Structure formats: structure tokens, C-alpha cells
Structure 1
Amino acid sequence: MSSGITLSSATRQNLLVAQDTASLLATTQNRLSTGKKVNSALDNPTSFFTSQGLDSRSNDLSNLLDSISNGVQVIQAANTGLTSLQKLVDSAKSVANQALQSTIGYSTKSNVSTTITGATAADLRGTTSYANALASSNGIFSGAAGGTTAATGSTTLGGTLAAKVGTAATAGDGSAALTPSITLIASGGATATGLAGNAQPADGDTLSVNGKTITFRAGSAPTGTSIPAGSGTSGNVLTDGTGNSTVYLGTTTTPAGTVGDLLTAVDLASGVKTAVNSTAGAATITTSSGQTVSSITTGAVTLNSSTGSDLNVTGKADLLKALGVSTATGSNPATVTATRATVSTSTSSLIQDGSTLNVNGKTITFKNAQTPAAANVASGSGVSGNVVTDGSGNSTVFLQAGSIADVLKAVDFATGAQTATIASGAATPAAVSGVAASSISGGVLKLSTGTTSDLSITGTGNALSALGLAGNAGTDTTFTASRSSTPGGLSGKTLTFGSLNKGTAVNVTFGDGTNGTVKTLDQLNTQLSANNLSATVDASGKLTIQTTNDHASSTIGSTADGGAIGGTAASVFSAAAAPVADANSQATRSSLLSQFNSILDNIKTTAQDSSFNGVNLLNGDTLKLTFNEKGSSTLNLQGVQFDAAGLGLSKLGQNGANEFEDNSATNNVISSLSTASSALRAQASTFGSNLSVVQNRQSFNKSIINVLQTGSSNLTSADLNEEAANSQALSTRNSLTISALSLANQAQQSVLQLLR
């Protein structure tokens, strides 16, 4: 339908532009006011509905965030409760430890005891009694022909003397046969009164005889106070009384020392003669019993050994040649020997002078000399037969007259098998009750060990081998033998204890500590410890076996506790009595029960108060969380019942019980607390892991919501800078359109003016 109005083409064009501009300006202003470029499905159906979907999911996730946030707080509340519960459990454990540290609740624990004489921590068996034993040597024989005759107690230690018979000798000029009166040096020019010139000893020359020294000195023998202390003179000979001598030569004007003086000195050194020195310095020289002195017969010198030692003389060769006992010449030393022979009355192997036996730390010395008289022995010593002893076990056996019986006596003095009483230089042997003296039978020495220590003999020289003590091969350096012994009262006996309070049953045998036997207190306690028992021994030998502190309330052998005693040793032990409670200690321990129970009450209330928004994971509640809008991602966290009962803890002291009465019961309580503590730590770990999952999902959802909202905004939000520019441009365009329309209208008005 036409309006009947005809518009010019320009006007109509301007009107269309104005309408289009107005429409665009309205759209731009709408976008600026809403901030969106898509406000309805008409604007952009795809973007609008996609944005709606993203916003819907974002809103759904935002709603879930509140629930997740609450879940985080529920878990944190439970975790806080766990921390508090752990502190309470630790406090309860501290109370239990106080009970452990308090005085044991019993003044006397259940025990069995016995007193064993001599029992010590090192040897529970008790005193071992010792008896002497007889140790046998190898067989020794006499010097009888064939070498098979057994030696006896009277068989002597010395053999027959040995003689070194020289050839006839003369004085220095050969005009007279050698005699004891011939001087050792010549006087003036008359050589007939002395030895040959090269043979004459000079001042300081020496001879060695069986280890003793003969020294030649010029001048006269000392007299009076000039005689050295302990020495004595006899003619031209000065001797120290032990075999060492000095022969004084005199001078060439007045020669003094003679061949006879030299022979006397040799006999003193070899033991053929003995010198007793007085305090005034006089030497009384006598021939030892049974010995033959050295001599000269028709110019021939005979040097005799003693029966107690072979002869060994070393000196200047010319001197020994002048005496006719050597053919060597010169000033260098030559040696002359004479070896004894064995006889039927002597041993087949003669003991050497100076040999020793060390018997249990005591020394027996074999000496080539005549047995001294009681008046001549050292102070504090005494002579018995051919033995001189100091009364403490050290002895000297004199070889010239000593016998096997004398050796056995000396051994018994050393081992204590015999004692020696010293008085006025005499030693009186005495038997020891219950101890057999050493003896000889069939040529075998039967040596008594005594009772004070086992027998141990070492030696020097040839004493061990000569007496058959050097073993079968004759090379052993030690002869040993043990005493016989009888162990103490528990030796070989067994002691058993049944299982005490779930311990390990005990079965011990008392012995020397080998092959599984028990000797020491430490070994016994090692066996008892696994059965909740321990042992002590006091100075009187009382051995007490009692329950340990952990089981102080238990009674050995009771029906409730077990540990019945048995074995062959059980009869010597006392019967076990029930433990005796210590009232003060038990009161202290009982007072700790109320503290413990108060803590358990706090554990219960703490667990009940560990809730958030009505959910308590420590009271058995379940926390269910949904993480996405579809409900396909969830978390179900099952709570725990962590009151005292849930932790396995119960109040103490119920029905008259006292769980702190001894260490074992207390340790059981501590064990339950440790279990509760482990449960709390394990649950804290579980809650911590779940909290981490929930917090991670909470952060994830927040990030997803941001992504969704950003995506939605990107689809519908307008670019305000662009829209503002558009608005400005459209306003300008609108103004221009109005101006153009005005111009178009002015043309028509001009035509109208023409009509007026």
C-alpha cells in the first residue's frame, strides 16, 4: 500500500542510510552496555549455546568446590585430632615409664637358693679339693754292667774319681825329681829349686779348674787385716772358700809358692779339698770325705777329680808340661781332663756340677762339694742328709755323697710334699698329712705333686735327662703332672626350670664350662635369662636364683606362672616362696594408674571433638566427596574409631588389678601404647595422603573453572575498544546522514517557494 508520498532518490537513500546507522548504533550500544557481543541465540547461535554449556559446567564445578573445601577441613580436623591423640598416648607412655623407673614393687622376689662351700662367680661348683698325685719318670739305672740294673734311693749321684797321671818331671835344671816342695819360681841362679824358666808362672797368670780360678801373685800371702773379708790363708794359698784361690809366688830372692801349694789349689777348685775360713782370716783346709788328693810320686804328678765332677784344667801349656801332665808347649793355654767312671753304686748318667732343677718355681742346685756340717751352713738354712735347704723350698744337693733319695727329698721340699724345720743349721723333714712322699720303685721316680699346685719341673745342665725327666726321646725341656682333684658340690649335677611366664625352659649341667656345661655365674645367667630368671652368688657361697624385675610378681613353680624346678641339683635348693610386696612401692605404682586412666578419658573426648561440619573421621564417620559434575570421580574416606578402646587401650586397675605391679606387666602396657602410637602414625599417614589428593583436586577444579569461564567469555564477550570505536564512527555517520537528508530537503523547499 503506497503512502502516496513521492521522495526523491537522494532523500530516500539518505533515509535508508540513517535507518541502517541507527540499527548499527543500537547494536553497538547494546554490546557496550552488556559487555557481550553475543547476547542471544539471534546474535550467534553456535557461540551462544557453546558458551551456555561452558558456563553451566563451570557453575556445576563451582558448586562442588564448596563440598571439596568442607572435605579438606574435615580431614584437617581429623589430622589435628590425631596429633593431639599422639601427644596423649606419649603422655600415657611417660606415666608407664615412671612405673618402670620406680622402686621394684616387691621387697623379695620369688627365689630358690643353696649354699655351696667355696662357690664363687668364677666357679659355682664350689671348692675343689686337691690330693697329691704321683708322677712317674722314665726308668733310671745304676752304673752296673749291662746298664739294666734299676737305680734305688741309695744310688749315688757321683761316680768314681778320675785321675790324670802325668809323666815323671824334674826341677828346672833336671837335677832333681819333681816334688811338692819344689817352688814354682827359681831363686837367684839356682834353677834346681824351681820350675823351668818358661814354665814359671808370672804375677797375674791364671789356671782354670772346673770353672774356678787359680791366680798367681808375686810376693807373700797377706796376713791379719790385709786378708780380704770372707777369705782365708793357709801357707802360700789364699782361698775364698768356694774353690777360687790365689797362690803367692814370693820373690826370686825368696821363692814361696810350691808345686804342693798349686796341687792344693787345684784340689780346692775340683772339690777334692774343702776350706773353711775363720773370721780371723785363717783357712782350714781338709780333704773332703771319700776324695783322694792330687799327689806326686817319683816325680809324676797325679791330678785327681772329685767323685762329684770330672776334672778340667786349663792353663799355660809350658806350666802343664813342666808338671808332666801335658805335652803341649808355649805360652798359649792347654787343657787337661780326667773323666769319672760310673759304678754299680752310682747312677748310669752322672749329674753335672752346677745343673739345676726348677720345681714349681723353687730351685734345686747340684753342687760338686762335700756336704757341709750344720755349723758351716748359711744362716737360715739347714742340712738334712746331703741336702741343704733354706726352709722355703730352695735346696742344694751335694754330688760327692748325694743320692737319689736326697734328690727326692729336695723335690718334696719344693712341692710342699714335705716340710723342713730349720734349727741350728739342721733341717728336720716332716711328712704332710695325707700327702705321700716321693719315692723310687723299679728305677722309676714317683714324684709327689703335693697339694698346693700342679707339678712343673724345668732344668739346666743335664739334671732332667739324668733323672729320667726329659721324656721318651730325652729332649723334653719340661716335666709336668697334675694333682688329683675332686670338684665342689654342684659338679656334674643338673638343674632344670620349666617355662616361666612363656620363657624358655632351662636345663643346665654344672661342670668345667666346656661341652655345654655351666661353670661361671655369667654362663648360668646366660641360660636363665631366656626364662625370666637371674642368679647371684654372695661371699659365703650362697647361690640364689630368682625371677627378674620384669616378672617380680611371679612365683617360681606356681600353677599360674610355671617354672617348676627339677634335676639332680634340685634337692639342695630351697623351696620357692611367693614374692613379698613392698607396700610403699606398690602404692606409688598404684597412684600412677589414676593418671593413666585420666589420660584415657582425654583420648576419648579428643577423638569425639575432632569433627567438622558434623563429620568426624576419628569417630567412625565416612567422608564422601564428588570431584566432577557427572559424579564419576569420587573419594570415599572411611573414618576410624580412635577412642581409647579403638586404640586397643583400656583403663587400668579394674577389679583390683595393678598393671604396674612389676616390670613385665608395665611393659605389656607400654607395648599396647606403642601399638596405639603406631596405629596413630599409620592413620595420620593415610589421612595425609587423602588430604593431598583432595587438595590437589580442589586446585584442579579451580583451574578447570577458570578455563571454562575464560572459554565462555572468549565466545560471547565484546571487544569494548572496538565497540567504542564503532559507536564513535556510527555517531559521526549518523550526523553526516542527517546533514545530507537536510540538504536533500532544502531542494524541495526551493521549489515550494516558487509556488508561493
Structure 2
Amino acid sequence: MTGIVLSASVRQNLLSLQSTADLLATTQNRLSTGKSVNSALDNPTNFFTAQSLDNRASDINNLLDGIANGVQVLQAANTGITSLQKLIDSAKSIANQALQTTVGYSTKSNVSATVSGATAADLRGTTSYASTVATSNVLYDGTAGGTHAATSAITLGATQGVTTGATATAGDGSTALSAGITLIANGAATATGLIGNAQPADGDTVTVNGHTITFRAGAAPASTAVASGSGVSGNIVTDGSGNSTVFLGTTAAPAATVGDLATAIDLASGVKVAVNSAGAATISTSAGETASDIGVTTASKVTLRSSTGADLNVTGKADLLKALGLTSSVGGGNATVTVARSTSAASLGQLIQDGSTLNVNGHVISFKNAPVPGSAGAPAIPTGSGKSGNVITDGAGNSTVYLQAGTVADVLNAIDLATGVQSATIAANGTATLAAASGQTASSVNASGQLKISTGVNADLSITGTGNALNALGLAGNTGTASAFTAARTSGIGGISGKTLTFTSFNGGSAVNVTFGDGTNGTVKTLDQLNSQLQANNLSATIDANGRLTISTTNDYASSTIGSAAAGGVIGGTLTTALTFSTASSPVADTVAQTSRANLVSQYNNILNQIDTTSQDSSFNGVNLLNGDQLKLVFDETGKSSLNITGVTYNSKGLGLAALTGGVDFIDNSATNKVLSGLNSASSTLRSEASSLGSNLSVVQVRQDFNKSLINVLQTGSSNLTLADTNVEAANSQALSTRQSIAVSALSLANQSQQSVLQLLR
């Protein structure tokens, strides 16, 4: 090939084509890579500078994943704090529910003393009281003419009413009626029971003065089979209160007699009385009463008698009462027989009705048609009560006056017991000894027949009533229609003005030093003013209508005892020398309320368990900022820019919350408020940490955005140093292609010229 000789033009064209090809390859490489600098040969400075920028951008980009993970760790912690805050709010709701539930004690610790004449408007008792006498209308006895004044010995009962029926015979029409005649016939032709249509049937009833007599078929039960509290006597089972069941026997073997029915009527009317013991009834005629009879007073006739304490009213089947000769009515419907008492010089002219009551200053006096308990044949005196005359009293101002033998004097004694003019001392045997209170005069009846009622000093006199008691005792006003009898006590000067009352600090409250006065210059006059002083020491005061001042703990400290070593609140001052305060009582727990509060303790502890598990679960990728872990984030490729986030331990213990104990926590409002205080502190702690996490999260997100922007800046700078201008390179490519085409054409022309010379040589 070395023997080939090229002309200068061909060689020049070949060199031009080679140069163009090289330039074209370089241009095409730039277009394909988009860079004008693809190696250090292109531009060493730009190439290595761009490579440094790209390397830094790559290093920073590698840090973004760690930063993104850090953001998620912070988000997980923030989510955990949000959930913990909700759980804290739920615990607060439980504690507030404990505050709103019933106080855990039915009775709070208290001390009390009576300030004579004190009221809520004036605690000083500036008015002391003396008893006055209130006068009733004139009472008359039953002497004919109705103008004879009654005395204290006049009885409340009256002469028994008597009615005797027509002559009656047994069911055979020829046998005279007697107490032994059975109520049902035995079915034989010579039957001596009541006539067929008069015979009681199983379930029939007779009503006597509001009490019920029930007829039952069959034999009376044994004493061991009667209901508790009832007793059996012959063919009669009685409850001891006037209600009876008469057992008829059977048609073949009749049992109950007309005499049994008369006895049952007398039990209901109060003429007779039954004392029940171990299922047996002992029936006897009440003292001073005469029993009803059949054929004794008048042969073949039924004689019914009321008691002295109430008129008699008998309602039963007409045929039965007609068979007894007591009515002319016939048929299966009811008929009524009444027997009225007769008043006399020994009784009130207007008789008090059985069941009437008087309400005297809030105490109840009941009037009852029965022999007084403890008398011959009567029931025993109720346990805890005492008997004085014909009055049974509970010793606290409530009494029952028994009408059969009671007197006006008994009524006055009962009124005095209610007003406090007299007091009753009850002995173990049930005897009540009455005595007038110091400086008091017992009520009485004056010569004109008026009741002279002492008001006493405890309260103004107020008497209301039911039935006809007010009217019968002349207490219904001049028209006899008044619904109340009232009288005021006399008043005088007295009180506790100038006396002081002190309490040491009670459960951390402010010690109290109260001086009673007219309400000025720091003195206390009203109940509201006293409570304003006591409130700061966790105490409160009340006063009742009798001037009894009671100072007790507030609901917040219902479990504490006033004056105890643990709580404080020792009472003192000159007032305690003028008044005798009771010993501080211990609080009495309300079982139902404490059970409810114990249930709330259980709910609260469940919330704490959820707080513990929530704090443990607030992790991301193994890092938990709420469980004491730490997070370190690196922001630049040198490691000099970083952020260290120290975690916290926010389980229940870390938040300062401890599990509660039933019977210790939530037992009163104070214990509950302590729990609420801890919850509020925990809530503040969570909010503070949430703020801190939010600040850190903001920093991390700013650096994350900064790094992304910086990577873009570095990559843009690198690109600026190495990227090709595609427009220029495209133009160069086009120019070089044209140049190459021209060079090829020139080479072709040069070759043709050389060929022509060679042809001449041939």
C-alpha cells in the first residue's frame, strides 16, 4: 500500500473528511449524553467540579431517608401523646363523675348545740322564750242541756250503745236462738243452724268499724299453723287488731256458732280484746266494757253493744243480719246496723272519733278505740314506749290516747309531751313517769271548761288534726271550722352576743375565730355569715327550727372526723363555756354510694393500664420517644449539623399517676380532687411535651425541605458546568453533516480528475 501515491487535493479532502467525522462524532456524543463535558479530557476543571457537586448531592440525598424516618418517629410520639391526652380526659371524666355522685357518707362528722331562740337570720338567740297559755273554746260534758263545763276528769269515751234485735229462731223455725246455734245447718231434718238463705258461705265477710270478719269453710287450724302474729281461739283466728276469720266447719259437722260471730264483732268493735302468743289467742272483755250476747239479756234475741270508745257499725249480708233479728232487710246484698253511744255527765258532750289525730309541733297524737296496753287482758306495752294513765308515749313527743277509758287530762298530758312542757321517763317495766320541765306549768282545764294549753319554750304552738279531734277539743276556732290552733310564746332578751367560737385548722383549712354580734365590725350574726367564715376551714353550719346549731364537715372532707388528730378542727372559745356542744360524731359510710365510688376506682385503674400500653406502643422503626428512647438526626454530609431528641417515659408512673385503692380513694370530694389535681398536672405535662415535639418536628421538616432544595441546587450547578446546549450542538451537527457532504463531493471530483490523467497515459 505504500506504493500508492495520492494527490494533494485527494489527501486534503481525506484529511478534511477525517476532521469532520471527528467533530461530528463529538457533537453526536454531546447530543446523546446531553453533556458538553463527558470526561476530564473535555474540560478538566468543569468535569471535576461537577463531579464534586454531584457527590455532595448524593451524600445529602442519602441522609434524607434517615430524616424521613425521624419525622415518622416524631409523628408516632405525637400520635401517642394525643391518645394519652384522650385517656387522661377519660380519667378526668371518671373523677368528675365521682364528684357528682352521691356523697359517700350518709352522716358527716358534726358537733351541735342548741342556742335558745336562734334562727338563721339571728344566730345570737337574741330572743329567749317563755311559755304562754293558749285557751280553747269551752268544752261541755254530756249533761242534758249541753251547757255544763267539762273537767279534766271527763272521759273521752261514753256509755256503751245497745241494740237488741227481734226474736229469732234457728233454721228449724222452732228452736229459740242462742249463742250455741251454729251458723250453718247440718242438713238433717232437725237442723238447728241458721235458715238456709242466711247461712254464711266460704269467703263471705262482715265489716265492723272498718275491720273485717271473714267466714271460711272447714275447721279452724291448730295454733302451730296460724299466720305469724295471729292466734286461734275455738273457731276464731284473729290478728289481734280487730280482724278475724270465723271457721264454719262443714255441713256434716258445723262448727262456728252465733256466739262466735258475736265474739268476732266485739273484737272488731273493741269490746273484747285478743292477746296472741305462740299461735293461741286469749280473748277477754275489755275493762269497763260489756260484751254483746245472744239470749242472755233477752231470750231468743241478739244484743249488740258498742264499745265506750266508738260507735258500732256492722255491715253484712242482709239475710244473715235478718236471721239474727237485727234488720228487716232481706236478700244477698248488704245491710248495715249502727249502735250509737250515749253521752253523760261523765263524758264529753262531743266525742272524739276513733282514728282521729292531732299534730302538735310536728309530733303526732293518735286516738284509738281500744283498752290501753298494759291493762288487764290488754296487749303488752310496745318495746321502747311507756304508759301513763291512758297514754302510751314513745318518749320523743309522739303518743297514743286510748279512748275507752281516756280522759281530757290524758289528752293534755299528750299535748305537753309534744310541746316539751312535760317529759317522760320510761322505766324498764314500761311505766312512763311524767314531769314538768324546769320553769314550765302543765296544761289544765279551767273552771269554765276551757283547755289552758302551755306553749312551752321550744317552739310556737301549732296544732292541726285529722278526723274531729280539733273540733271535739274546742281547738277549731269560734266557728268550729278552723284547720289549726296556734299560739306564740312570749319573748325576752338573751343570746350569745359577744361569745367567740374557734376551730383549729381542719384538713389544711384556715383556722376559724368567730365572734357573734350584730354583724358589723367583723362579728357574725346570720347563718350565711357564719358559713362564710367556716367555708375556708372546710366546715359548714345549719340550724333547725328549735335553734339547734349543727356544724359539720363539707362534702369535700366527708370522711374526716372533726377534732381528730389526723384532720384537726378542735373546737374551743368562750361559746363552748356558754353552750354544751356534742362530742364530734364519726362519719357514717353510705354503703351504696361507696360501692358506686369503688366501681369508679376500678374504671380509673383500667384507664391507667391503657396509658401504660399506649405509651409502650408509640414507637416507629424500634424508636419510642415516649418510652425513654433517644433520636439523633444528621442533616449534612459532614455530620456536623445534627439534632438530638431525648425521649421521655410517659407511662402512668412517668406522668405522676398511681393506681387507686377502693375504700381509700374517691371516698369523698377531697380525695377525688387530689386525683383530679394529678390528672391536670399530667395533662399539662403532655401538652408541654407535645409542644416540644412539635417544635422539633418543625425543625426536622425545615431541614428536610432545605436538604431537598440544596440537592437541587448542587445538581443544577453540576449540570450548568457539564450540560450541552442542544440547540448549538444540533446546529453543529447539521453544519458538519453539510461539510462532510461537500468534502465527499470534493473528494469525488479530485478522484475524477486523477482518473482522467490516467486515461491519457493509456
Question: TM-score scaled by structure 2?
Answer: 0.51
Matched, 1:497 2:475: no
Matched, 1:729 2:735: yes
Matched, 1:713 2:712: no
The whole-number CA distance in structure 1 between the counterparts of 2:82 and 2:551 is: 46
Residues 516-544 of structure 1: per-residue CA shift (max 9 Å, x gap)? 22111111111111110011111111100
Within-5 A mapping of 1:505-516: 505-516=511-522
Residue 721 of structure 1, CA deviation? 3.0
Secondary structure in 2 matching 1:591: helix
Report if the CA contact (8 A) 2:598-2:663 is conserved: no
Aligned equivalent of 1:521, options 527, 544, 547? 527
Report if the CA contact (8 A) 2:73-2:623 is conserved: yes
Which position in structure 1 is the counterpart of 2:694?
A: 688
Matched, 1:583 2:582: no
The whole-number CA distance in structure 2 between the counterparts of 1:59 and 1:488 is: 100
Identity of aligned residues (%): 73
Which position in structure 2 is the counterpart of 1:124?
A: 123
Matched, 1:592 2:591: no
The whole-number CA distance in structure 2 between the counterparts of 1:32 and 1:48 is: 17
Which position in structure 1 is the counterpart of 2:82?
A: 83
Which position in structure 1 is the counterpart of 2:18?
A: 19
Which position in structure 2 is the counterpart of 1:650?
A: 658
Which position in structure 1 is the counterpart of 2:96?
A: 97
Residue 7 of structure 1, CA deviation? 3.0
Residue 128 of structure 1, CA deviation? 2.9
Residue 486 of structure 1, CA deviation? 7.6
Q: How many residues align?
A: 400
Residue 605 of structure 1, CA deviation? 0.8
Aligned equivalent of 1:660, options 643, 661, 666? 666
Residues 598-640 of structure 1: per-residue CA shift (max 9 Å, x gap)? 1111111111111111111111111111111222221111111
Aligned equivalent of 2:757, options 734, 751, 754? 751
Residues 450-481 of structure 1: per-residue CA shift (max 9 Å, x gap)? xxxxxxxxxxxxxxxxxxxxxxxxxxxxxxxx
Query: In structure 2, do the counterparts of structure 1 residues 487 and 38 end up closer, same or farther at CA, with 3 Å as the change threshold?
Result: farther
Which position in structure 2 is the counterpart of 1:569?
A: 575
Which position in structure 1 is the counterpart of 2:38?
A: 39
Aligned equivalent of 1:672, options 667, 670, 678? 678
Query: In structure 2, do the counterparts of structure 1 residues 675 and 683 end up closer, same or farther at CA, with 3 Å as the change threshold?
Result: same
Higher mean alpha-carbon deviation, 78-87 vs 9-18, is at 9-18
The whole-number CA distance in structure 2 between the counterparts of 1:750 and 1:13 is: 19
Which position in structure 2 is the counterpart of 1:613?
A: 621
The whole-number CA distance in structure 2 between the counterparts of 1:657 and 1:523 is: 35
Report if the CA contact (8 A) 1:125-1:487 is conserved: no
Secondary structure in 1 matching 2:514: strand
Report if the CA contact (8 A) 2:498-2:516 is conserved: yes
Secondary structure in 2 matching 1:495: strand
Residue 489 of structure 1, CA deviation? 3.6
Residue 709 of structure 1, CA deviation? 0.9
Residue 727 of structure 1, CA deviation? 1.9
Report if the CA contact (8 A) 2:594-2:663 is conserved: no
The whole-number CA distance in structure 1 between the counterparts of 2:128 and 2:20 is: 137
Secondary structure in 2 matching 1:503: coil
Residues 479-527 of structure 1: per-residue CA shift (max 9 Å, x gap)? xxxxxx9853422221111111111111112222222221111111111
Which position in structure 2 is the counterpart of 1:368?
A: none
The whole-number CA distance in structure 1 between the counterparts of 2:492 and 2:701 is: 83
Which position in structure 1 is the counterpart of 2:285?
A: none
AA in 1 matched with 2:12: Q
Aligned equivalent of 1:739, options 745, 751, 760? 745
The whole-number CA distance in structure 1 between the counterparts of 2:692 and 2:513 is: 49
Which position in structure 2 is the counterpart of 1:557?
A: 563
Residue 755 of structure 1, CA deviation? 2.5
Higher mean alpha-carbon deviation, 505-514 vs 550-559, is at 505-514
Which position in structure 2 is the counterpart of 1:314?
A: none
Residue 48 of structure 1, CA deviation? 0.6
The whole-number CA distance in structure 2 between the counterparts of 1:732 and 1:742 is: 15
The whole-number CA distance in structure 2 between the counterparts of 1:738 and 1:595 is: 98
Root mean square deviation of aligned Cα: 1.9
Which position in structure 2 is the counterpart of 1:391?
A: none
Secondary structure in 2 matching 1:535: strand
Which position in structure 1 is the counterpart of 2:552?
A: 546
Residue 5 of structure 1, CA deviation? 4.9
AA in 2 matched with 1:596: Y
Residue 71 of structure 1, CA deviation? 1.1
Which position in structure 2 is the counterpart of 1:62?
A: 61
Secondary structure in 2 matching 1:39: coil
Residue 545 of structure 1, CA deviation? 0.4
Which position in structure 1 is the counterpart of 2:481?
A: none
Residue 21 of structure 1, CA deviation? 0.4
The whole-number CA distance in structure 2 between the counterparts of 1:101 and 1:486 is: 45
Report if the CA contact (8 A) 2:117-2:129 is conserved: no
AA in 2 matched with 1:625: L
Residue 658 of structure 1, CA deviation? 2.5
The whole-number CA distance in structure 2 between the counterparts of 1:487 and 1:554 is: 38
The whole-number CA distance in structure 2 between the counterparts of 1:487 and 1:631 is: 93
The whole-number CA distance in structure 2 between the counterparts of 1:675 and 1:614 is: 29
Report if the CA contact (8 A) 2:116-2:128 is conserved: no
Residue 3 of structure 1, CA deviation? 4.7
Residue 744 of structure 1, CA deviation? 1.1
Report if the CA contact (8 A) 2:518-2:525 is conserved: yes
Report if the CA contact (8 A) 1:626-1:634 is conserved: yes
Matched, 1:626 2:625: no
Residue 724 of structure 1, CA deviation? 2.5
The whole-number CA distance in structure 1 between the counterparts of 2:495 and 2:116 is: 8
Secondary structure in 2 matching 1:734: helix
The whole-number CA distance in structure 2 between the counterparts of 1:486 and 1:634 is: 89
Which position in structure 2 is the counterpart of 1:635?
A: 643
Within-5 A mapping of 1:122-521: 122-128=121-127, 488-521=494-527
The whole-number CA distance in structure 2 between the counterparts of 1:743 and 1:550 is: 120
Higher mean alpha-carbon deviation, 619-628 vs 592-601, is at 619-628
Which position in structure 2 is the counterpart of 1:73?
A: 72
Matched, 1:111 2:110: yes
Secondary structure in 2 matching 1:112: strand
Secondary structure in 2 matching 1:646: coil
Which position in structure 2 is the counterpart of 1:403?
A: none
The whole-number CA distance in structure 1 between the counterparts of 2:66 and 2:494 is: 84
Residues 131-167 of structure 1: per-residue CA shift (max 9 Å, x gap)? 9xxxxxxxxxxxxxxxxxxxxxxxxxxxxxxxxxxxx
Query: In structure 2, do the counterparts of structure 1 residues 488 and 554 end up closer, same or farther at CA, with 3 Å as the change threshold?
Result: farther
The whole-number CA distance in structure 2 between the counterparts of 1:619 and 1:744 is: 89
Report if the CA contact (8 A) 2:126-2:497 is conserved: no
AA in 1 matched with 2:698: S
Residues 9-29 of structure 1: per-residue CA shift (max 9 Å, x gap)? 212221221111011011112
The whole-number CA distance in structure 1 between the counterparts of 2:550 and 2:644 is: 62
The whole-number CA distance in structure 2 between the counterparts of 1:690 and 1:711 is: 31
